[in-house]
Amino acid sequence: AFEVLELPKSANETEIKQAYRKLITQWHPDKRTNKSEEEKKIATEKSQEIIAAYQILTGKSKKEIDEELDKILNRMSKIAKSLFYGVHLSEKEIDLFEALSNKDLDQTKILLEQVQDINAQTINADRFPGKSILHYIVKNSCNNPKSGWIELLEGVLSKYGVNLINLNVISMLEGPPLNLACELGDLDIVNILLKYGAELDARILYFVLMDNKNDVAKVLLEHGAKIDADPKAEKLIIDSITKYSRSTVEMLLPYMSNRQKSRMLKSIDYSDHEKIDHNIELKELLLEAGADPEFCDKTERRWIIIVPALLFGAIGAALATMGIIPEITAIGVIATAVLSGIAGAVIGGIAGCLVDIAINQCCGNQQCAVQ
């Protein structure tokens, strides 16, 4: 028995108990649920040997051994859940996330009344922010209209309101709850979240459009989503036109400015021969909607002015500092360098403007749009 527990025969009661807990935790079959049947069999046999050895050395009854084992397994389970959901969470919060994961509506309702932080959030495997309580409720509500989860969602939002519950809490993988609802394509949940004040994000709109979820995209746009709310997202939305279906573009056009339509027209790539018919169809659609085929966006060429201005300014300041440009005695070296930099920036800016004008003339476009 001592050998099974990896102990010397001189081991005392405390050492026996510690060895038993260590080995049973290591070998219990519950720790090997993802292993092969052969490995599970070995673990079961090893566990039985450990339990038998412990019973011999302590003289405890089977009932006492079973009760002690249950306590050990419960402790193992709590530790595992804590590591899975987040060690920062309280026991009640972990129990709540477990109920949410198992879609146990009744238990969720009970535990929601017991947790202190309605904005509690898990961590994912990479230790980044995971799903919040709201994420789980939204996920369980989506596409389950008769399950009772939608009523729970509305009840939670109504009870806590936007001042207490964070509708825009970010999960590293899912984004905010609204993004999750949009991804799952549940219009009812999207509308509920928007009704209670979920923030609209142009990036969410981009992902919805890429999935050709036109009904969801239309809801977002009707609630005030702006294509140009985020310059990066706007560029993604416009540059991805050839990935959209015709119906997606038709849905999007009423919410776009002529500048955006014209930029979208410029983004069509006709070199993709597999999509040539589709792209020509989109071009005709955009032209009918008012896109300008001669459009050029001056905002995309501001670097032509900015870069020369910065470069000439830096050169002017450097030359003055090195003494190549004579110092103005009345104001000193530093002021001379500053003035030289300003003069250089002006010269560079003028040069950039001249280049920009030349480009416009070459393009034959006298009405470049300015954002």
Q: Convert the pLDDT of each residue in 106-126 to its tens digit.
A: 999 999 999 989 999 998 666
More confident site: 205 or 325? 205
pLDDT tens for 318-345 read: 766 666 767 665 566 677 667 666 776 6
pLDDT of amino acid 80: 77
pLDDT of amino acid 331: 63
pLDDT grade for 348, boundaries at 50, 70 and 90? low
More confident site: 217 or 202? 217
pLDDT of amino acid 369: 37
Mean pLDDT, rounded, for 120-138: 87
pLDDT grade for 82, boundaries at 50, 70 and 90? confident
pLDDT tens for 25-43 read: 888 787 776 678 888 888 8
> Average pLDDT of the chain?
82
Instruction: Say what the pTM is.
Output: 0.65
Q: Is the pLDDT of residue 358 over 70?
A: no
More confident site: 341 or 187? 187
Count how many residues are written for the chain. 371
- Pairwise CA distance, residues 352 & 361, whole Å: 14
pLDDT tens for 209-240 read: 988 899 999 999 999 988 888 888 888 998 88
- Closest to 364 in 3D by CA, of 296, 304, 308: 296
